[in-house]
A and B are shown apart, each in its own frame.
Chain A
């Protein structure tokens, strides 16, 4: 079974500054995907960024980037130039690379990020 741990229940950052959210996971799988999802007060889970474990290059999406350390089973999210709209719960999630099986996501407990004007 896979587990995902987010050790920072809450964080805050000044607008325009950079913040890093931490995530560690435990798995015996070699091929898998990792995700960061954002959940604003509207409740809808929004995909922020995706990383495939077999790719050594860290994923980036505009202001969002990850630091993926496969050996350490670490997957942190860096948000640059933080904006007020980034205020939300952030969830780290794991998915085994699906063959014919389930596309099940395993989530961490989340980090509540507040961007301060």
Chain B
């Protein structure tokens, strides 16, 4: 167990809807990253939050947005869902001191129908 928890574990949404995924970071970690992992692929970086501000973004459209709260937990919001958004969404937390390692949650499996 890494101490990073994500909710929900599974989710089914309809094309065009909006979805919010949640992540609680490991104690002491102030940086949260989100990744999208399509079936059979490696995770792709969506964005990262540090001290409640976006601090790096991958090649994802603006309908992917996020928040980080003062307790360092985070949300990933996706608007206007498309079928291709079906994937495993992983949250990772890191500390900016020490070994720069990322600890992952168990992911949220999103299915868009």
Contact = CB atoms under 8 A, between A and B. Distances in A.
Contact of B56 (A35, A37, A42, A104): A104
Interface residues of B, number: 29
A33 interface: yes
Given A47-B103, A50-B99, A106-B45, A101 B56 contact: yes
B35 to A, nearest CB: 8
B64 to A, nearest CB: 15
Contact of A105 (B2, B41, B43, B88): B43
A103 interface: yes
A45, A47, A91, A104 — which one has the most chain B CB atoms within 10 A of its CB?
A: A45
A105 B102 contact: yes
Contacts, number: 67
B66 interface: no
Nearest to B48: A102
A110 B101 contact: no
Interface residues of A, number: 26
Contacts of A42: 106
A95 B101 CA distance: 10
Contacts of B33: 103-105
B88 A33 contact: no
Contacts of A50: 99, 101
Given A45-B90, A45-B104, A105-B45, 14 more contacts: A43-B106, A43-B109, A44-B107, A46-B104, A47-B101, A97-B100, A102-B55, A103-B33, A103-B56, A103-B94, A104-B33, A106-B45, A107-B35, A109-B40
Interface of A: 4, 33, 35, 37, 42-47, 50, 91, 93, 95, 97-98, 101-110
Q: Which 7 A-B pairs have the closest CB atoms?
A: A102-B56, A107-B42, A45-B104, A44-B106, A43-B107, A104-B45, A109-B42
